Structure 1
Amino acid sequence: MGLPIHFVVDPQGWCCVGFIFVIWLYNTVFIPQLILFPRFEEGHIPAAAIWGYYFASVFCVVSLLRASTADPGKLQDSPKIPITEKEFWELCNKCNMMRPKRSHHCSRCGHCVRKMDHHCPWINNCVGEDNHWLFLQLCFYTQLLSGYTLFLDFCHYYYFLPLKSNNWDVFVFRHELAMLRISTFMGIVMFGGMASLFYTQVVGILTHISECRLFNS
């Protein structure tokens, strides 16, 4: 069963999501035209390389949309508190609602989120108990797509044989070098940023699991 839809009214967050979407769209449109299709036509790469790139691109944008619109674990009004868990709940001094411990109030979203990790402007949503796994998926698929893009950019210049023919009447081929430099720069930024974020998230999860085991033992 899918998570409830959750939208945050934040123009700054919309701009961040739009920026990520533009980067995704840029590489999804131009990398196949500049590298994949010409290389495939001359027999340098198999068709599986093209399909693999598009699959990675689809998984990346779908995970972005899901992480951006999924409910992170918003506390409902007048939540029912089990008698056995009352001691683990506390009052939020901002929204005057009872919330379980490890919940936090997000000033951008305007409500408390269960096990809130942080508010991420790049998805315009909080990362909490219900959508944390979707955020990790987004980090993973973004790394995959960015790494694949960097690999293709590198092979295009330093490994593959020169193309025998180019259609110089097409805009993308006239500006090939500049466009690939832009792609490479965006790939380095996205891959480096997402790799560090994914690492810190995984380390945080493993640390929390270890602390829970020590507490229960």
Structure 2
Amino acid sequence: MKLRVHFVVDPMGWFCLSMVFGVWLYNTVFIPTLILFPHYSEGHIPCALVACYYLASLFCITALVRASTADPGRLPQDPHIPHSEREHWELCNKCNLMRPKRSHHCSRCGHCVRRMDHHCPWINNCVGEDNHWLFLQLCFYTQVLSLFTLLLDFCQYYYFHPLTHLQQEGFGVRHELALLRVSTFMGLLMFGGMSSLFYTQLTGILTDTTTIEKMSYFKSDVGSSGRPWQQTLSEVFGTRWKLLWFVPFRIRQPLGGALYPRLHV
């Protein structure tokens, strides 16, 4: 499968995505400046802690960029439908094109998406069959980075030894308390919101139910998959190697016998 870049022209989505990127950039700049590097230079914390923070930050921004630019499963204008699979397709009453069942037409993007879960303004993209795994990784690594930031903020207040060598004229030192309070507030907000979203997404995947289907008043042919959670998540992430579920740098390959069969498009 080739890596396809997908952009949604939506000023509001760009604004929301910029806010998420700004939160990530804030913590990636000020937390190392105020906590990690000064305490590492004085021997209060090991080098591994600094490396782990930057690794979590790297995985988080990679998942964000890829989830926002990956093709969620957009249907082509003229899909090829084999005769044996026609019963699995239906006509979209908005774009008047044939689409697989459980697809949905996104009014913001203007096209149908295979097994669309929802349109997320925070990544300025739909969450569908081809990028759902990236969105799940984004929720996970945002929780990890937010919790990491909160722990560092707490340790800076109550645990770390006072620094002996400070540049008192530096902006970070003069405004350390205010900067750490903002970081703590954003960390609490992101961790709480992403934890709830991650639980909702994980529950939906394990029960084979999209967010759109949950919001509908009725659901036809949708219910619990009745299969082991390992198999369900393997089909979403496109691999049975559990370690690769946590790697946002790879290209997803659909598995056979998935929750949502890969039809010819």
Same fold (TM over 0.5): yes
Q: Aligned pairs, how many?
A: 215
User: How far apart are the structure 1 equivalents of 2:136 and 2:120?
Assistant: 12
Matching residue of 2:88: 88
Q: Give distance in 2, aligned partners of 1:64 and 1:94.
A: 30
Note the C-alpha offset of 1:157.
0.7
1:211 counterpart SS class: coil
Shift of 1:24: 0.7
Alpha-carbon distance change, 183 to 2 in structure 1, aligned in 2, over 3 angstroms: farther
Q: Which structure has the highest helix share of the two? A: 1
**Per-residue Cα deviation, 1:58-92 (whole angstroms, up to 9, x for no partner):** 11111110000000000001111122221121110
Q: What letter is aligned with 1:72? A: P
Secondary structure of the equivalent of 2:43?
coil
- Residue 63 of structure 1 aligns with an amino acid whose one-letter code is A
Aligned pairs (5 A) from 1:57-206: 57-206=57-206
Match of residue 225 from structure 2: 212
Structure 2 unmatched ranges of 5 or more: 210-222, 228-265
Q: In structure 2, what residue type is equivalent to 1:26?
A: Y
Aligned to 1:6, the other structure's residue is in SS state coil
Moved more, 100-109 or 84-93: 84-93
Structure 2 letter corresponding to 1:174: R
| Aligned residue number for residue 220 of structure 2 | none
| Deviation per residue, 1:123-165 (Å, 9 max, x gap) | 0000000000010111111111111000100111111122223
The more displaced of 77-86 and 118-127 is: 77-86
TM-score in terms of structure 2 length: 0.78
Per-residue Cα deviation, 1:68-124 (whole angstroms, up to 9, x for no partner): 000000000111112222112111011000111100000010000000000000000
Q: Does 1:35 find its partner at 2:35? A: yes
Partners in 2 of 1:162 and 1:175 — Cα distance? Answer: 16
Paired amino acid for 1:100:
P
RMSD: 1.6
- Alpha-carbon distance, 1:213 to partner: 3.9
Mean Cα deviation higher: 116-125 or 48-57: 48-57
Structure 1: which 5+ runs fail to align? none
Amino acid at match of 2:127: V
Shift of 1:2: 4.5
CA offsets 1:157-206 (integer angstroms, 9 cap, x no match): 11112222321110110000000000000001111111110111011111
Return 164-173 or 22-31, whichever deviates more.
164-173
Supply the distance in 1 between the matched residues of 2:131 and 2:25 (Cα, whole angstroms).
24
1:27 match: secondary structure: helix
Instruction: For 2:25, give the aligned amino acid.
Output: L
Runs of 4+ that moved beyond 3 A: none
